[in-house]
Chains A and B, each alone.
Chain A
Amino acid sequence: MDQARIITLRREIAAIEGRPAGFSEGSDFFVPASSRDPLADAERGKKAIGPRVMPGAEQNGERGKHLPLGIPDLDRRLGGGLPLAALHEIRAGETRESGALAGFAAALAARLAQLQSKPILWVEEEMALTEAGHPFGVGLAQFGLDPARLIVVRARRPEDALWTLEEGLRCSGLAAVLAVIRSSPRALDLTTSRRLALRSAKHGVMGLLLRQAGAAESGAATTRWRVSPRPAAVMDGFSDGVGRPAWRAELEKNRLGPVGVFDLEWDHARIQFGPSATADPVARPAVPFDRPDRAAGEGQGLALRKAG
């Protein structure tokens, strides 16, 4: 009798928190990247091992509730795309990887900006600005994210950044709040994390918590990613140049499906992800590459043709 009550209570709690009922609190399902895909197993009628997909979520994402990333396997694991009313955590293991972290996050923001018209609040902790520079408007514009859609907040302390994140998640005038902090401040404990997740779920504002030099830690985010850089893909006509940015995005924790590792590259012209297939680079001497002269844009420096 008590057992049944406990199960019912668990289901209710799971429903309130928006989790699939099969998960226990705070557990991370860590599945090595090379493992089988349990969803595919289920589809073939075999017994599914591992997390179940949240009941009700269609494979292609409920309209208006997910941000499709454009990589079918990845979107499927998320139940159609990155859930909009949820907190997502993205970390980079080292400070030097902050560029990759910024890139992946900006790519997500750029795709979100296409889906929704409301502004995105971009919060930076002072330390993050010192360590890895500040968001650069021209670079973001080239990347596919219109800087006019951003409101940038520079917070002195991590507590201020987290407060701004929390208050932003309540604001119906925003599409998302993106907060960049350093590693794991004391203020970011499980309770705070859970509160952020609940706020996001309640008000429908996506939360992206970026941690520079962050270690893997449990939290209440719906998905947690680890991003590291990969050699850039070569672009047509620029055989020796540094081409499309590429990253390894490891989905370390996923409440909606299995985890996995994805090698992605970003197409800034079409604002979409693509699979990255660059092999690990062979050591080669650096050959400087000059692009053919472009008509100088307003206020841009000329790229000169290399002599000789």
Chain B
Amino acid sequence: MRLVALNETAFRVGLSRGQAPAEARAIYPMLEVVEEDPGADARLLAEIADWTDRYTPLVALDGVDGLMLDITGCAHLFGGEEAMLADIVDRLQRQGIAARGAVADTPGAASAVARYGNGAVVSSGGHAAWLAKLPMLALRIPAETVAMLERVGLKRIGQIADAPRAPLAARFGAGLIERLDQALGRAEEAISPRRPMPELMAERRFAEPLSLAQDIAATVISLAGSLAERFEERGVGGRQFELALFRVDGAVARTTIGTGRPLTTPKLIGELFAEKIELLGDELDAGFGFEMVRLSVLAVDDINPAQIDLAGESDGDADLARLIDRIGVRLGLGRVANLAPRDSHLPERSAAFVPTANGSAALAWPAPLDDEPLDRPLRLFARPEPVETIAEIPEGPPLRFRWRRALYEVTRAEGPERIGDEWWHEDGLTRDYYRVEDRAGHRFWLYREGLYGRETAAPRWFLHGLFA
């Protein structure tokens, strides 16, 4: 057992990381030792990462105790890099979290300066000078490599920054060169943000935090309005939107909606979010209020000019599209579907539900039979229900059957219609379907599964559908 983390007081009385608790207690008897909880630590880091989302949407985890933020282009919103860094560290401090940060041109340099250089804002291009003074460990290479370098007297990054690369790679591995190049900016390093980068984004901060649903709804409409121009420029509309609400105490509430067709009209976007917020109800806790609201467009689709109508729509088609979007928000877009025919002789595969949002090609259904009796049921069970049936062996029609504990006497049976399994199933069982009617007029679609003798010794019977 070793100590992995200490608070300020512990540092001041002379304790250090890596000490055994017994030793530490000998130095300071009143020491309080708590067992490490990596899960809780990870959750806390994730929460802090969520909180930093208000600075930039590109946030990645850096190890178990750090975060990497890509602030390219956002620093001016916070008064410059120095002010922004100070703001972040200061706010974290106020929440009881000691933090150290650095700003640099590359993720490698930023990480190195933050962890081993006491944190600073490195001016553009000045990272090489900074890195030169830092120990090898700051390059994010494994401890063994560091040990190997130390053995030959290489202790500072500056010593290898301009050394011949081939011998270094041969002796210490290609990984060392990669990390060196990344830190110095000779090679690209992209961070993998926790959240997808939105296509478009608009946000607003409030001096007076919001907590009323209608205020949030109004803000959404306003933010969507500010995106209208960018939609038009690109000729697209949004298919997936995310609303992020940042609470004053640091928590972030997020909710997404999807639409059936690309949307640009602020009023409609606002309406869908209002619906969603109402649905969330108590789950959406404003706490002391939201100080920032961000609307992100996560997915877009091309839009043709005829669809754009900022004045509001009133014809039936638009009304229907709107209804489908609202049902999608409330029940889930996958639950609104069209029926589509499929090319398969297996009944359960011959028709499918295709989510309306996916769009549908108009395909032809089999034509209605003219003056012949119907041979397909109106309702089909997704899983055919087993029925106990009495029928003549080997291939007689059902005479009596029991379905869900009720007995049915068959008065008329039509069939068999033989439907084999798909040819690629070698051991597939053939089905003989019968349309049966009982005394009262209940009409069912039953099938015998497996040809007696040829495919199976004990064919089973199933009820697959209900006729009108």
B413 touches A286 (CB 8 A): yes
B436 at the interface (CB under 8 A from A): yes
**B326 an interface residue at 8 Å Cβ cutoff?**
yes
* Assembly CA distance A300 to B366 (angstroms): 9
Q: What mask results when residues 409 to 422 of chain B are scored 1 for a CB within 8 Å of chain A, else 0?
A: 11111111111100
- Contact A246 B368, beta carbon cutoff 8 Å: no
Residues 183 to 229 of chain B near chain A (Cβ within 8 Å):
none
B428 near A: Cβ within 8 Å?
no
Query: Given A99-B467, A236-B371, A301-B345: A148 and B337 within 8 A (CB)?
Result: no
Docked-complex contact A288 and B410, CB < 8 angstroms: no
B319 touches A245 (CB 8 A): no
Query: Interface stretch among A7-15, A53-61, A74-82, A162-170?
Result: A162-170
CB distance from A12 to the nearest CB of B (A): 31
Do the beta carbons of A245 and B377 come within 8 Å of each other? Answer: no
Q: Decide: A240 and B412 in contact? CB cutoff 8 A.
A: yes
Q: Are B323 and A100 in contact (CB under 8 A)?
A: no
Q: Which of B55-63, B93-101, B126-134, B438-446 contacts A (4 or more CB under 8 A)?
A: B438-446
Q: Considering the chains assembled together, what is the distance between the CA atoms of A171 and B318 in angstroms?
A: 10
A304 to B433, CA, bound (A): 11
B227 to chain A minimum Cβ distance, whole angstroms, is: 26
For A134, A142, A150, A231, the residue with the greatest tally of chain B CB atoms inside 10 Å of its CB is A142
A 144-182 to B, binary, CB cutoff 8 A, 1 in contact else 0 = 101110111111100010011001101111100000000
Given A99-B378, A150-B338, A173-B323; A137-B318 close (CB under 8 Å): no
> Does A189 sit at the interface, judged by CB under 8 A?
no
Cross-chain contact of B416 among A151, A156, A284, A288 (Cβ < 8 A): A288
Q: Beyond A102-B468, A118-B316, A135-B339, is A238–B440 a contact (Cβ under 8 Å)?
A: no
Closest to B437 in A: A242
In the complex, the answer to whether B365 meets A146 with C-beta atoms within 8 Å is yes
Is B466 in contact with chain A by the CB < 8 A criterion?
Answer: yes
The CA of A202 and the CA of B398, in the complex, are separated in Å by 51
User: A168 to B336, alpha carbons, bound, how many Å?
Assistant: 13
A136-B327 in contact given A171-B319, A235-B371, A242-B373 (Cβ < 8 Å): no
B17 within 8 A of A: no
Chain B residue nearest to A164 (CB atoms) is B327
Option from A132, A151, A237, A247 in Cβ contact (under 8 Å) with B379: A132
Interface size class of A (residues with CB under 8 A): 35 or more
Query: Contact between A136 and B323 (Cβ–Cβ < 8 Å)?
Result: no
Q: How far is the CB of B297 from chain A (nearest CB, A)?
A: 25
- Say if the beta carbon of A232 comes within 8 Å of chain B: yes
A194 at the interface (CB under 8 A from B): no
**A291 at the A/B interface (Cβ < 8 Å)?**
yes
- Choose among A106, A138, A297 the residue with the greatest number of B CB atoms under 10 Å from its CB: A138
What is the bound-complex CA distance between A287 and B322, given in angstroms? 53
B353 at the interface (CB under 8 A from A): yes
Contact with B along A100-135 (1 / 0, CB 8 A): 101110110000000000110100000001001111
B374 touches A143 (CB 8 A): yes
Q: Is the CB of B330 closer than 8 A to any CB of chain A?
A: yes
Closest B residue to A98 using CB positions = B466
Q: Which residues of B contact A174 (CB under 8 A)?
A: 316, 320, 323
Contact indicator A297/B371 (Cβ below 8 Å): no
Chain A residue at minimum C-beta to C-beta distance from B444: A99
- In contact, B413 and A288 (Cβ under 8 angstroms): yes
Contact B371 A134 (CB under 8 A): no
Q: Does A38 make an interface contact (CB < 8 A)?
A: no
- B118 CB within 8 Å of chain A: no
Partner of B335, one of A138, A155, A291, A299: A155
Instruction: Give 10 closest A-B pairs by Cβ, nearest first.
Output: A103-B468, A173-B320, A137-B351, A99-B466, A173-B316, A229-B441, A133-B379, A301-B419, A141-B365, A137-B339
Q: A136-B351, A142-B375, A152-B353 are in contact. List 9 more A-B contacts (CB 8 A).
A: A99-B378, A99-B466, A118-B316, A133-B377, A135-B339, A138-B350, A142-B369, A147-B339, A171-B320
28 contacts between A and B (CB under 8 A): A99-B466, A102-B468, A103-B468, A106-B468, A107-B468, A133-B466, A138-B366, A139-B380, A139-B465, A140-B378, A141-B366, A146-B365, A151-B338, A153-B335, A153-B337, A168-B323, A174-B316, A174-B323, A238-B373, A242-B373, A281-B411, A281-B412, A283-B409, A283-B411, A288-B397, A290-B415, A301-B433, A304-B416
